[in-house]
Chain A
Amino acid sequence: MNVIDIQGATKVFNPGRSNQVEALAEIDLAVEHGEFITLIGPSGCGKSTLLRLIASLISPSTGSVQVNDKPAEQARLDRDYGMAFQTAGLFDWRTVTKNIELPLELMGWSKGDRRRRASEMLELVKLSEFAKHHPNELSGGMQQRVAIARALAFSPSLLLMDEPFGALDEMTREHMQDELLRIWKETGTTVVFVTHSIPEAVYLSTRVLVMSPRPGTIASNISVSLGDRSAATRDDPAFFKKVTEVRIALREVEE
């Protein structure tokens, strides 16, 4: 069973107007359960647009997007996926716990269940001692971890991430990548991850999709099998080989 099934999806913004933009052309994509997919490409290649199509935050101009064997719109209404953005998008007016509880509140969970779940999630992202803090008291990396905990709180089968580590410094970023991989392994979630960073894409994914711009298409599909990641992976010649492979693919689409 495919978690994501996209057939011939295109997206044109402002059709028929002078500022018409053909953002995506004829995307076909199938993502299997448990995969970690990254979308990489130059700015304006439509990777965020593709992510939003999967999330049904926008709808395709033509073609179909299926998530969990139903239309993406239905999957959104069924809350089949969790989402995280470049800005953590936490609510300053809610404590860390209350931020994580937000999707659970919307889904009608009881107060006790929400509390229990939030504390489990805080343990998962190792922020238990900050449960009662407000987001503006936390560092950028900690805020991003809360956002991930929130996205995972209701155990969605799919996690959609739009450059979630883009605003973090290099050290925090590498740490967060390891955290994400640990969580991915522990929860068995399927992940679609948008990034600008080639090493990040290679380090995280089971499959890297290189996109070409104007209009966005999937130019190459690079499988990555590096086994369990660790600090040693980042110095592994096999890792560098994959980084080079992705870099060459990116260079080709930019020419």
Chain B
Amino acid sequence: MNALKGFSAPVAAGVVLFGVWQGVLSLFNPEGFVLPAPSEIVGALIDNWDEVYHGARITGFVVVSGLVAGIILGIIAALLVTRFRTANETITPLAVAINAIPIIALAPIFNNWFGLTSPRSNQAIVVALVFFPIFINTTRGLTQVDRSQIELMESYAASRSRITREVRIPNAMPFFFTALKLATSLAVIAAIVAEYFGGRQDALGPMITQSAGLTRYDEAWAAVLAGTAIGAVLYFAVLVIERLAMPWHSLIRARIDEP
């Protein structure tokens, strides 16, 4: 019942938005390149379903594989940095420096490294973009631990790895999931923009640039819609995993929500 309540307001807002969009366009009837009506976009999506679906699978694979690799690398780096002081002193400043590079701007360069039509360069962009928020936030979560919880574990003569497992990792979970939600939308953006410059030509990115170049704006928007769907599905998946992984955390929400 509560879950339904949570959904009904944004769904209603969405319906109103699309209604106004459709209505305004049918009243003023501007050129198609300004903004196609929702009905035209849905029409283009249905007409080109096979192509768009295929493109979404290609792009979706780049996003998910890059996301998974970026998460794994980010977590490993965070654990290393927390465990070893020298690793911390080498990796962290380096990571901060690299993070200042606009990574997406490297897409054409990565194409030279990995080959113009290889999805590898797109994946590499996604990995690099996902890595930093995961690494930095997880490190924060692993290190910003209640001092008394560490002292308590030391008073029990707990080993270092035990302290990591019992205290640091659970403490880092909310930090990690906050970063992960940020990373999923970043990953979709990164994949599509990287695809503008190279990679497989049947992915969503080239579909958008080519359709727009041929003034088929409804088709370009249909591809954008597919990209949105990838982002939404991933975000929702993260929310579900978060709830499963941190049942105690939803309790906090439950408590605050109650009047």
- A203 interfacial contact with B, CB 8 Å: no
Contact between A106 and B167 (Cβ–Cβ < 8 Å)? no
How far apart are B153's CB and chain A's nearest CB, in angstroms?
8
Given A136-B251, A136-B252, check contact A85 B156 (CB 8 Å): no
- B5 interfacial contact with A, CB 8 Å: no
- B90 interfacial contact with A, CB 8 Å: no
Complex Cα gap A93–B250 (Å)? 11
Complex Cα gap A76–B156 (Å)? 7
Contact between B167 and A91 (Cβ–Cβ < 8 Å)? yes
- A55 interfacial contact with B, CB 8 Å: yes
Would you list which residues of chain A between 83 and 117 have a CB under 8 Å from chain B? 83, 85-87, 89, 91-94, 102-103, 106-107
How far apart are A94's CB and chain B's nearest CB, in angstroms?
8
Partner of B151, one of A82, A83, A102, A106: A83
**B149 neighbours in A (Cβ, 8 Å):** 89, 91
Complex Cα gap A94–B169 (Å)? 13
How far apart are B124's CB and chain A's nearest CB, in angstroms?
35
Contact between A103 and B146 (Cβ–Cβ < 8 Å)? no
Complex Cα gap A79–B157 (Å)? 7
Proximity string of chain A (159-176) to chain B, C-beta cutoff 8 Å, 1 when within and 0 when not: 010000000000000000
Partner of A89, one of B146, B170, B173: B146
Contact between A102 and B166 (Cβ–Cβ < 8 Å)? yes
Contact between A83 and B152 (Cβ–Cβ < 8 Å)? yes
- A36 interfacial contact with B, CB 8 Å: no
**A76 neighbours in B (Cβ, 8 Å):** 154-155, 157
How far apart are A5's CB and chain B's nearest CB, in angstroms?
19
- A57 interfacial contact with B, CB 8 Å: yes
- Most A CB within 10 A of own CB, among B151, B156, B167, B246: B156
Complex Cα gap A76–B154 (Å)? 8
- A123 interfacial contact with B, CB 8 Å: no
Would you list which residues of chain A between 22 and 43 have a CB under 8 Å from chain B? none
- A254 interfacial contact with B, CB 8 Å: no
**B167 neighbours in A (Cβ, 8 Å):** 91
**B248 neighbours in A (Cβ, 8 Å):** 92-94, 134, 136
- A193 interfacial contact with B, CB 8 Å: no
Contact between B155 and A134 (Cβ–Cβ < 8 Å)? no
Complex Cα gap A93–B149 (Å)? 13
Contact between A85 and B152 (Cβ–Cβ < 8 Å)? yes
**B148 neighbours in A (Cβ, 8 Å):** 85-87, 89
Would you list which residues of chain A between 218 and 232 have a CB under 8 Å from chain B? none
Sample (23) of A-B pairs whose CB atoms are under 8 Å apart:
A57-B151, A76-B155, A76-B157, A77-B157, A79-B156, A79-B157, A81-B155, A86-B148, A89-B146, A89-B148, A89-B151, A91-B149, A91-B170, A92-B248, A92-B249, A93-B248, A102-B156, A103-B156, A106-B156, A106-B158, A136-B252, A137-B251, A137-B255
Binding site for A on B (CB under 8 A): 146, 148-149, 151-152, 154-158, 162, 166-167, 170, 173, 246, 248-249, 251-252, 255
What 9 pairs across the A-B complex have the smallest Cβ distances? Answer: A85-B148, A89-B148, A93-B170, A83-B155, A77-B157, A134-B248, A106-B156, A89-B149, A93-B248
| New A-B pairs, 10, CB < 8 Å, besides A57-B151, A92-B248 | A52-B151, A55-B155, A57-B154, A57-B155, A81-B155, A93-B246, A103-B156, A106-B158, A107-B156, A137-B251
